[in-house]
């Protein structure tokens, strides 16, 4: 099992971090599509990487981060409502 860290942040700060991670996901996703189709993204910059596989791996990693944060926020909101 990989080590984990507990951060104590205000909820609005966590939402700001989530927004930034989502932006990184969108950028890597656009890069992946560009490398697969050779169609440059209209609004995003292309991330520097070696190949399509690296871009796809980064896209998947940022997607994992977004989903992890969102799941934890769901648990927190459920606890607050209870």
pLDDT of residue 82: 61
Q: How far is CA 31 from CA 24, 52, 73, in A?
A: 11, 8, 28
When pLDDT is averaged across residues 47-76 and rounded to a whole number, the result is 96
pLDDT higher than threshold 90 for residue 45: no
pLDDT of residue 28: 95
When pLDDT is averaged across residues 35-53 and rounded to a whole number, the result is 90
Of the pLDDT bands very low, low, confident and very high (cuts 50, 70, 90), residue 44 is confident
Taking the CA atoms of residue 19, residue 21, residue 27 and residue 29 in that order, the dihedral angle to the nearest 10 degrees is: -110
If one counts every other C-beta atom within 10 angstroms of the C-beta of residue 62, the result is: 19
In the chain the first and final C-alpha atoms are separated, in Å, by 31
């Amino acid at each position: 099992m990989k080590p984990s860290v507990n951060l104590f942040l205000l909820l609005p700060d966590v939402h700001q971090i989530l927004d930034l991670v989502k932006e990184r996901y969108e950028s890597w996703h656009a890069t992946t599509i560009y490398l697969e189709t050779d169609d440059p993204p209209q609004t995003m910059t292309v991330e520097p990487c070696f190949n399509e596989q690296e871009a796809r791996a980064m896209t998947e990693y940022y997607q994992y981060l977004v989903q992890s944060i969102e799941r934890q926020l769901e648990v927190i909101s459920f606890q607050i409502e209870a």
